[in-house]
């Protein structure tokens, strides 16, 4: 089976789509899945059984603030041309949330892939932009250039869970060398950090913008700041630091706070797993994803979306460090098993491209 992938770029943000395809390319070839990677449209790209299109390649259209009639017509015309050459087409919506604003293309493709999907597929049928990021107050969000379009019911079976950003290379390579990580052999996780040497109680480095997107982060950080004043917990953050220092801090931290941002799942989640730190995160029980390292109470500590139980959970784990360690180490072990196991991704990808089941969940 010949598969062409039109990728969106070389940056850290974009590499999550194609890193596992390169890391497992030999094993995929053994399954007769022959991969070609493109960073610009070329005629030979269409000589394939399956064409995978990374949505962020069409960045002006996928960004709902720059989307307009012209770039949508150009995209739809491109899909029509691709349809005449490629066998089948998979649209990989790379946007961060489980919700999607890309359903204008679903009628022109055979598959619609996402990093994670709502377990309740019926949410995609609702004509309401609030379902894109259901944890936010959408009254504060900027207006979309185009009205929100739900998924047509007839196209709902096209939805597939592809893979999330857990399948990435999280090595701290210097900036100029980072793109070459994609062509290196599969990485191995560093040895699990020694828990007794961890000296930071809680870690969060990141932005909490004043816009509606940052509302949950601002709420959670406000609660953490209040607790720090009361108890004197040692907290790293929230200001930004260089990547090497950031990863070093994570390995010295017992707990990592990871609120939702533009989407539910973020790089910080997997960086916390790799650092064997307890991940404190709003409950992900509404999602289906792959690899799924998020087992509530076993590999991470779920929180209410409004942060109402954050202080209580922090106090509990500060007073029960062995329980925090148990969950943190289970998270590390689960992450290591899932991202380093060749057969897991190869089997998942093989089902994905050969029109396998879309997974559990329904309306």
Q: What is the pLDDT of residue 187?
A: 54
33 domain-assigned: yes
Q: What is the pTM of this model?
A: 0.91
Instruction: Write down the mean pLDDT value for the chain.
Output: 89
- Range of 245's domain? 186-340
333 domain-assigned: yes
Per-residue confidence at 211, pLDDT binned at 50, 70, 90?
confident
Who contacts 258 (Cβ-Cβ below 8 Å, separation ≥6)?
A: 204, 266, 268, 269, 272, 279, 280, 281
Who contacts 257 (Cβ-Cβ below 8 Å, separation ≥6)?
A: 202, 203, 204, 220, 221, 224, 280, 281
Task: State yes or no: pLDDT of 269 exceeds 70.
Answer: yes
Looking at the fold, whether 49 and 152 belong to one and the same domain comes out as: yes
Looking at the fold, whether 233 and 325 belong to one and the same domain comes out as: yes
Looking at the fold, whether 144 and 270 belong to one and the same domain comes out as: no
179 domain-assigned: no
Domain containing 310 — which CATH number? 3.40.50.2000
Residues 338-362: pLDDT tens digits? 877 778 999 999 999 987 544 433 3
Looking at the fold, whether 88 and 8 belong to one and the same domain comes out as: yes
> Is the peptide bond prior to 238 cis by the omega test (within 30 degrees of 0)?
yes
* Category of 115 on φ-ψ map: left (φ > 0), alpha (ψ -120 to 50) or beta: alpha
Looking at the fold, whether 302 and 322 belong to one and the same domain comes out as: yes
Q: What is the pLDDT of residue 62?
A: 87
Say how far apart CA 161 and CA 151 lie, in whole Å.
16
Looking at the fold, whether 158 and 204 belong to one and the same domain comes out as: no
Q: What is the pLDDT of residue 357?
A: 42
Pairing, β 50-54 against β 111-114: unpaired
Looking at the fold, whether 194 and 130 belong to one and the same domain comes out as: no
Residues 66-125: pLDDT tens digits? 899 999 999 999 999 999 999 999 999 999 999 999 999 999 999 999 999 999 999 999
Looking at the fold, whether 199 and 302 belong to one and the same domain comes out as: yes
Q: How many domains is the chain partitioned into structurally?
A: 2
Looking at the fold, whether 205 and 86 belong to one and the same domain comes out as: no
Task: State yes or no: pLDDT of 180 exceeds 70.
Answer: no
Candidate from 128-142, 200-214, 247-261, 317-331 with smallest mean pLDDT: 128-142
289 domain-assigned: yes
Q: What is the pLDDT of residue 70?
A: 95
Looking at the fold, whether 134 and 194 belong to one and the same domain comes out as: no
Partners of 88 in the β-ladder: 50
Say how far apart CA 94 and CA 115 lie, in whole Å.
7
Say how far apart CA 225 and CA 129 lie, in whole Å.
32
């Amino acid at each position: 089976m010949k598969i062409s992938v039109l990728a969106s770029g070389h940056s850290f943000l974009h590499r999550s789509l194609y890193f596992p395809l390169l890391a497992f390319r030999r094993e995929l070839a053994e399954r007769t899945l022959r991969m070609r990677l493109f960073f610009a449209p070329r005629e030979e790209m269409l000589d394939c059984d399956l064409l995978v299109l990374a949505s962020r390649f069409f960045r002006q259209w996928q960004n709902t603030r720059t989307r307009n009639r012209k770039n949508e017509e150009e995209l739809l015309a491109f899909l029509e041309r691709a349809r005449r050459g490629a066998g089948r087409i998979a649209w990989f919506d790379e946007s961060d949330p489980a919700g999607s604003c890309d359903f204008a293309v679903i009628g022109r493709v055979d598959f619609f892939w996402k990093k994670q999907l709502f377990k309740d597929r019926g949410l995609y049928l609702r004509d309401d932009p609030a379902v894109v990021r259901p944890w936010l107050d959408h009254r504060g969000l900027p207006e979309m250039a185009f009205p929100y379009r739900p998924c047509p019911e007839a196209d709902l079976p096209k939805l597939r869970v592809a893979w999330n950003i857990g399948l990435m290379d999280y090595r701290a390579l210097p900036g100029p060398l980072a793109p070459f990580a994609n062509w290196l052999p599969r990485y191995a996780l560093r040895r699990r950090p020694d828990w007794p040497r961890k000296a930071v109680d809680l870690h969060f480095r990141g932005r909490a913008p004043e816009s509606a997107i940052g509302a949950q982060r601002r709420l959670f950080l406000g609660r953490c700041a209040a607790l720090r004043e009361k108890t004197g917990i040692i907290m790293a953050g929230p200001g930004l630091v260089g990547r090497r220092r950031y990863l070093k801090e994570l390995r010295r931290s017992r707990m990592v706070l990871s609120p939702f941002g533009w989407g539910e799942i973020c790089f910080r989640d997997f960086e916390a797993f790799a650092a064997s730190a307890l991940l404190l995160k709003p409950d992900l029980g509404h999602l289906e994803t792959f690899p799924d390292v998020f087992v509530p109470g076993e590999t991470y500590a779920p929180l209410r979306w409004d942060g109402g139980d954050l202080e209580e959970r922090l106090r509990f784990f500060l007073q029960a460090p062995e329980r925090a360690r148990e969950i943190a180490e289970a998270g590390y072990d689960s992450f290591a098993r899932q991202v380093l196991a060749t057969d897991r991704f190869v089997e998942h990808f093989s089902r994905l491209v050969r029109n396998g089941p879309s997974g559990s969940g329904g309306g």
